[in-house]
C-alpha cells in the first residue's frame, strides 16, 4: 500500500511573527522556516506504518516555492521514500492545495493520505477535509491512533469532551493531532541518504489546476494589546484585587 | 439573503456553541435557518426553535446522522445548500470536521474561525496563533464559515418560536462507520463555555499534584484546563488543552497556575477578561499578559488562595 504525505513549509513554531507596518501581511523575510509540526507527525506515522510492514511506499509532497524542497528533504530524512514538489510562487489557499493534491493522488494512486490537522501559519484546518471531499473518500480528522487492517483503517479521534473511534474503508484521508506520535529526530546519516532520494518537480499548470486565491486579504493587523497588568505581593492582595477591583469573584 | 446555521447537538440537547453561531449569523442580516441533523433529534430541534432570532428549523432525522459522521452530515448540508448565501458552523471539533468538506464540494473557499463580521462578504480571523488578525473578503457565491464561539455572545435560548420543518435524511455513505466514544466524565462546567477557568501547567509536576487545583476550581465554580506540556506529560486529559491547537476560551477569569505562557498557549486564552498568573519564575512570559501576577510557589499559594476566597 502506498501512502501520500503532504507537508508544508511554515514559519518555525518558536518564532513570534510581526505584522508589517503597511498591514499587507506578516514579515517572514529572514525568519526561520520549518516543517509544520503536524506534518512531521504525519510523516512519522506513515514511516511507522511502513516499518510495521503495512505500507510499502511513502511519498512526501509539498506545494509552494522552490525552498519547499528543504522541507521534502526533511520528510525523506524521517523516512519518506521519495518526494514531489508542486512548485509555484503564487499564494496558495487550502482549496487550491486540495486540488493540487487531488491531481497528485490521481497520478500516484495511494490508498491513504495522511495530513496534519492544521498549518500553524494560516490556522485554517481545511485541506485534509477538502481533499477528502474532492476525492469522495472518507475522512478521519484529529487522529490520535491509527490501525490498518485489511481494507479498513480504524482511527481514534480527539473530539470535544473526549475521544471517538471511526472505521473507514480504504482509500481514506487521515489528519493528525498532536498526540498521535512523537516524531523522531533526523540523524546525520539519514539526512545524507535523503539527498540521494528522488524529488520530482511539477507546476500547477502541468497538473492543470487553477490556483487563483478565492479569498482576498484586505489587511493584516496586530491583535488588540492587553493593558499592562500589575504584580501583587501576596495572596491576600490578589484576592482583594479580584473582589474589589476586577470584581470577578 | 438567507443564512444556514448547522446546529451542534447530541440529539437530546442543543449545545451552547450553536447559540453563539446564531449570534454571528444575526450580524449578517437576513433570515436565519438552523439545520439539526441527527437521529431522534426532535428535542434538539425544539430547543433550536426557541432560540432568539431563528426563523426556521430544519430537522433531518435518520440513522445515518446519529453519530455526526462527516461524510453523511456534509451530504445532508449539501442537499439544501443551494437555498443559502451563507453556511455557518461553530468552530468546534464537529464543525471543523464537516465545514471544509461542504466548501470543497461547493467549490468555494472556507473562512475559518471568524472573530467578527465586517459585512456580508468580509470577516476577520486570527492567523499565526492569534499573533495577527487578517481581514478577508470572499467573492464566492456561497460563504462557508466557521465561527469562533468565544468571539460572539450567545443569543437567548428562549423567546423564539420558529417552525420546525422535517427534511428527508440522507442515506449512509457506506464509507465510514462509528465504532465508539469515550467521553470524559466531569461535573464541572464545560471548558469552552465556562465563566471561570483554572488551568495548570508543567509546574504542577504530576497528575497527583494536579488535584491541588480541584478545591480552587470548586470554590470558583470553574472549569479545569491545562497547557500542552501538562497534557503531554499525562497530568491532565487531552480535551483539557487550552491553546492554538486545543480549546479557545475567553472566560471572565482565567487563572494560570504553573504555566510559562508559550505563544501557542496564549493563543487559546488571551481574550479572557481578567487573567491571573501564579508562577515562581518572575521572567515567565505569562506575566506579560496577566492582569494580576503573583510570583510564588504554587503549592503554597493555591491552598492559601482557596482559604482566602
Give the model confidence (pLDDT) of B174-231 as tens digits. Answer: 999 999 999 877 789 999 889 999 999 999 999 999 999 999 999 999 999 999 999 9
The full 3-state SS of chain B, as one line of letters, equals: CEEEEECCECCCCECHHHHHHHHHHHHHCCEEEEEEEECCCHHHHHHHHHCCCCCEEEEEECHHHCCCCHHHHHHHHHHHHHHCCEEEEECCHHHHHHHHHHHHHCCCCEEEEECEEEECCEEEEEECCCCEEEEEEECCCCEEEEECHHHCCCCCCCCCCCEEEEECCCCCCCCEEEEEEEECCCCCCCHHHCCEEEEECHHHCCHHHHCCHHHHHHHHCCEEEECHHHHHCCCCCHHHEECCCCECCCCCEEEEECCCCCHHHHCCCCCCCEEEEEECCCCCHHHHCCCEEEECCHHHHHHHHHHHC
C-beta of residue A117 within 8 angstroms of C-beta of residue A141: yes
Chain B residues lying within 8 Å of A164, measured CB to CB: 67, 178, 180-182
Q: Is the pLDDT of residue B32 over 80?
A: yes
Mean pLDDT of A181-189: 96
State the pLDDT at residue B186: 77
In angstroms, what is the C-alpha Rg of chain B? 21
Nearest CA in chain A to B105: A133
State the pLDDT at residue B230: 96
State the pLDDT at residue A226: 86
State the pLDDT at residue B185: 76
* Structural class in CATH, domain B191-308: alpha beta
pLDDT band at B302 (very low <50, low <70, confident <90, very high): very high
Q: Which of A17, A216, A221 sits opposite B133 (nearest CB)?
A: A221
Give the model confidence (pLDDT) of A127-174 as tens digits. Answer: 999 999 999 999 999 999 999 999 999 999 999 888 999 999 999 999
Nearest CA in chain A to B219: A249
State the pLDDT at residue A247: 83
Domain parsing of chain B, residue ranges: 2-167, 191-308
pLDDT band at B307 (very low <50, low <70, confident <90, very high): very high
State the pLDDT at residue A205: 97
Give the model confidence (pLDDT) of B49-63 as tens digits. Answer: 999 999 999 999 999
C-alpha cell at B2: 438567507
Give the model confidence (pLDDT) of A27-48 as tens digits. Answer: 999 999 999 999 999 999 999 9
State the pLDDT at residue B187: 83
Chain A residues lying within 8 Å of B184, measured CB to CB: 161-162
C-alpha cell at A202: 511539477
SS3 call for A173: strand
Report the Cα B146 to chain-centroid distance in Å.
10
Is the domain B2-167 a CATH 3.40.50.970 member? no
Chain A residues 98-127 with a CB less than 8 Å from chain B: 98, 117-118, 120-127
State the pLDDT at residue B66: 96
C-beta of residue B217 within 8 angstroms of C-beta of residue B210: no
Q: Which of B103, B179, B274 sits opposite A166 (nearest CB)?
A: B179
Name the more confident of A246 and A3: A3
DSSP designation for A32: -
Q: Is the pLDDT of residue A122 over 90?
A: yes
Mean pLDDT of A104-116: 98
Q: Is B141 exposed, middle or buried (0-12, 13-18, 19+ CB in 10 A)?
A: exposed
C-alpha cell at A118: 492544521
Mean pLDDT of A214-242: 93
The rounded mean pLDDT for chain B is 96
Mutate to test the interface with B, among A15, A39, A152, A164 (most CBs of B within 10 A): A164
Nearest CA in chain B to A238: B292
> Which domains does chain A possess?
2-245 (3.40.50.620)
Report the alpha-carbon distance of residue B233 to residue B251 in Å, rounded.
25
Q: Which of A162, A214, A236 sits opposite B139 (nearest CB)?
A: A214
Report the alpha-carbon distance of residue A157 to residue B192 in Å, rounded.
19
Mean pLDDT of A95-99: 98
C-beta of residue A40 within 8 angstroms of C-beta of residue A121: no
State the pLDDT at residue A228: 83
State the pLDDT at residue B183: 86
Report the alpha-carbon distance of residue A1 to residue A110 in Å, rounded.
7
Amino acid at each position: 500500500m502506498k501512502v501520500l504525505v503532504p507537508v508544508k513549509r511554515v514559519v518555525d513554531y518558536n518564532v513570534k511573527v510581526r505584522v508589517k507596518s503597511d498591514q499587507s501581511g506578516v514579515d517572514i523575510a529572514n525568519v526561520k522556516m520549518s516543517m509544520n509540526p503536524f506534518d512531521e507527525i504525519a510523516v512519522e506515522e506513515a514511516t511507522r506504518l511502513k516499518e510495521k510492514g503495512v505500507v510499502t511506499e511513502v511519498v512526501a509532497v509539498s506545494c509552494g516555492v522552490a525552498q519547499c524542497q528543504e522541507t521534502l528533504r526533511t520528510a525523506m530524512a524521517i523516512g519518506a521514500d521519495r518526494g514531489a514538489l508542486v512548485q509555484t510562487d503564487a499564494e496558495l489557499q487550502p482549496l487550491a492545495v486540495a486540488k493540487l493534491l487531488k491531481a497528485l493522488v490521481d497520478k500516484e494512486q495511494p490508498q491513504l493520505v495522511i495530513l496534519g490537522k492544521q498549518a500553524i501559519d494560516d490556522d485554517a484546518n481545511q485541506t485534509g477535509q477538502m481533499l477528502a471531499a474532492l476525492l469522495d473518500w472518507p475522512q478521519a480528522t484529529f487522529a490520535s491512533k491509527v490501525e490498518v487492517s485489511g481494507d479498513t483503517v480504524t482511527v481514534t479521534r480527539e473530539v470535544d469532551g473526549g475521544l471517538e473511534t471511526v472505521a473507514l474503508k480504504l482509500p481514506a484521508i487521515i489528519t493528525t493531532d498532536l498526540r498521535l506520535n512523537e516524531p523522531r529526530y533526523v540523524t546525520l546519516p539519514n539526512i545524507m541518504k535523503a539527498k540521494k532520494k528522488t524529488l520530482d518537480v511539477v507546476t500547477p499548470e502541468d497538473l492543470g489546476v487553477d490556483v487563483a486565491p478565492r479569498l482576498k486579504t484586505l489587511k493584516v493587523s496586530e491583535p488588540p494589546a492587553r493593558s499592562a497588568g500589575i504584580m501583587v505581593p501576596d495572596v491576600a492582595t490578589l484576592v482583594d484585587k479580584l473582589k474589589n477591583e476586577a470584581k470577578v469573584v | 439573503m438567507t443564512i444556514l446555521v448547522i446546529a451542534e447537538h447530541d440529539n437530546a440537547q442543543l449545545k451552547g456553541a450553536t447559540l453563539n453561531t446564531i449570534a454571528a449569523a444575526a450580524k449578517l442580516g437576513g433570515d436565519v435557518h438552523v439545520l439539526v441533523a441527527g437521529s431522534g433529534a426532535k428535542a434538539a430541534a425544539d430547543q433550536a426553535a426557541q432560540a432568539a432570532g431563528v426563523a426556521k428549523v430544519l430537522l433531518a432525522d435518520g440513522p445515518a446522522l446519529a453519530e455526526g459522521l462527516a461524510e453523511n452530515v456534509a451530504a445532508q448540508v449539501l442537499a439544501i445548500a443551494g437555498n443559502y448565501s451563507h453556511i455557518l458552523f461553530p468552530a468546534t471539533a464537529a464543525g471543523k470536521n464537516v465545514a471544509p468538506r461542504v466548501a470543497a464540494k461547493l467549490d468555494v473557499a472556507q473562512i475559518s474561525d471568524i472573530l467578527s463580521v465586517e459585512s456580508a462578504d468580509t470577516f476577520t480571523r486570527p492567523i499565526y496563533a492569534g499573533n495577527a488578525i487578517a481581514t478577508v473578503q470572499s467573492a464566492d457565491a456561497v460563504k462557508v464559515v466557521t465561527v469562533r464561539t468565544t468571539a460572539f455572545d450567545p443569543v437567548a435560548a428562549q423567546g423564539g418560536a420558529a417552525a420546525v420543518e422535517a427534511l428527508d435524511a440522507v442515506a449512509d455513505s457506506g464509507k465510514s462507520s462509528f465504532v465508539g466514544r469515550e467521553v470524559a466524565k466531569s461535573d464541572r462546567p464545560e471548558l469552552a463555555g465556562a465563566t471561570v477557568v483554572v488551568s495548570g501547567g508543567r509546574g504542577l509536576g504530576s497528575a497527583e499534584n494536579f488535584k491541588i487545583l480541584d478545591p480552587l476550581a470548586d470554590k470558583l465554580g470553574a472549569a479545569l484546563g491545562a497547557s500542552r506540556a501538562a497534557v503531554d506529560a499525562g497530568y491532565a486529559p487531552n480535551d483539557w488543552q487550552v491553546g492554538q491547537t486545543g480549546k479557545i476560551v475567553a472566560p471572565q477569569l482565567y487563572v494560570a497556575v504553573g504555566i510559562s505562557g508559550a505563544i501557542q498557549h496564549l493563543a487559546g486564552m488571551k481574550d479572557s477578561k481578567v487573567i491571573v498568573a501564579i508562577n515562581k519564575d518572575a521572567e515567565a512570559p505569562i506575566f506579560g499578559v496577566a492582569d494580576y501576577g503573583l510570583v510564588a510557589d504554587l503549592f503554597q499559594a493555591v491552598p492559601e488562595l482557596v482559604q482566602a476566597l
